Amino acid sequence: MLKQRFVLDTTALTDLQTREVMGYASLCEGMKKILDLIAEARLQFGISCYVPYPSVYKEMYEFASRNGCDSEVMAKIDTWLVKKSPDRYRVNVTSQIFQEYVAYMRERINRGMGVAEDAIWEAATECLFMENPQNKKKEYKEEVEREVIGGIIGKFRNKYRAALRYGILDSAPDIDVLILAKELDAAVVASDYGIEKWAEQLGVRFVPANTFPMMIKEYLKHLPQSENEPESGSTDKSKKESSEEIEFI
């Protein structure tokens, strides 16, 4: 059987939809359960799960720490995820990909600028049509900031994120995930639309984070019966020989 390889983005362990689908009660429980599945798949099938080092590994580790996950989660990350730095100098990516990326980024930046301009015009218009008694200048200023500018800025931030960040590669860890997957001929596991879009451009297999645990469970359901239930006459020697056959990549 051809060994499967996966490169994990941080969202492979932290995705909210995955927790809802799998019924995990908390983020830390979800990380722990997914890492347990990865451990079993590695021992039974030799499936290897990589994490770009140090970028995604550091991001994943800090995410777990900030959310109060215990040392067991940290130990599982270190034990069952293979840390590897992507070879950025030897992985070839066609210039056409970068040309399309630059054009795409310019379009998204222009759209973000348009959202900002709309917000500024809306704020200015609202201010012009409000009464401005000279003896209440201070109260007027506070009212504008509270009731007009504050609400508009809130809407602006949401629209700006949606217009500029959704669907793009906006961090070094995102790029590392794709380069390492290209280098290893592995599948990417993430819930990031930007990674999904550019995985398609690079010809890299993509696995949504919310289906990854179910995929591993499906592999494990089809273990040969002899591996699920060792024969009653097995000796310690045979167990030792079996353990020596496990390849740690």
201 lies in which domain range? 5-85+171-244
pLDDT in tens, the chain (249 residues): 457 999 999 999 999 999 999 999 999 999 999 999 999 999 999 999 999 999 999 999 999 999 999 999 999 999 999 999 999 898 988 878 877 887 888 888 888 888 888 888 777 767 766 655 555 555 566 666 666 777 787 788 778 877 777 777 777 898 999 999 999 999 999 998 889 999 998 999 999 999 999 999 999 998 876 555 544 444 444 444 444 443 333
Give the CA distances from residue 225 to residues 39, 100, 228, 247, in Å, rounded to whole numbers and listed in that order: 19, 50, 5, 21
**Are residue 177 and residue 229 in the same domain, yes or no?**
yes
Asked, for residue 224, whether it belongs to a domain, the answer is yes
Asked, for residue 249, whether it belongs to a domain, the answer is no
- Look up the pTM and report it: 0.71
Asked, for residue 80, whether it belongs to a domain, the answer is yes
Q: 246 with 39: CB under 8 angstroms?
A: no
How far is Cα 33 from Cα 39, in angstroms, rounded to an integer? 10
Residue 50: count other Cβ atoms within 10 Å of its Cβ: 24
How far is Cα 40 from Cα 25, in angstroms, rounded to an integer? 21
Count: domains in the chain = 2
**Are residue 147 and residue 192 in the same domain, yes or no?**
no
